[in-house]
Amino acid sequence: MFFIIISWFIMNAKIFRGKRIDNEKWIYGKLRRCFPPPEFKAICTINDELVESKTVGCFTGKYDENRNEIFSDDVIQYRIDNEIVLGTIIDNDDCFIIKTKGSNGFDISWGQEMKIIGNIHDKPELLCQ
């Protein structure tokens, strides 16, 4: 029972985004529920609108250098040792990490300047594997 209450609180305290099924536009708000319909395509609802579950991302609570909200699955550009690097924001259950090509991911250093250049759903070619 305690776990269910905690899970409900976390889902309702965070802001999520996902692509609507009917028009593929992004919607932002509270994640209500996820369920697989008979076709086995996972569906979620955000603010009672149907969204594709694979597009659901959680707001990290942080902003890029242009004050855009950073969500999981965003691809960001930042500098490491005067080199411009691309990384994907990954929700790692208890924290958010940056995954770059050839890395297993590392904790985000929120003090550095970051710029969102897209996300893996709108621009899959940016996916950092």
Domain match, 71 and 83 both = yes
Structure tokens that stand for 59 in this block? 């707001």
Domain range for 118 is 58-126
Confirm if 19 and 51 have CB atoms less than 8 A apart. yes
Q: Which residue has the higher pLDDT, 117 or 5?
A: 117
Q: pLDDT by residue (tens digit) across 83-126?
A: 888 888 888 777 788 887 766 655 556 656 889 999 999 988 87
Split at pLDDT 50, 70, 90, the class of 5 is very low
Domain match, 62 and 120 both = yes
Domain match, 23 and 51 both = yes
Domain match, 78 and 51 both = no
Domain match, 67 and 115 both = yes
SS3 assignment, position 46: strand
Domain final residue, candidates 14, 32, 55: 55
pTM for this structure?
0.78
Distances (CA, A) of 76 to 32, 50, 71, 83: 27, 27, 10, 14
Domain match, 73 and 119 both = yes
Q: Which helix (H) or strand (E) holds 2?
A: helix 2-13
pLDDT at 8 over 60: no
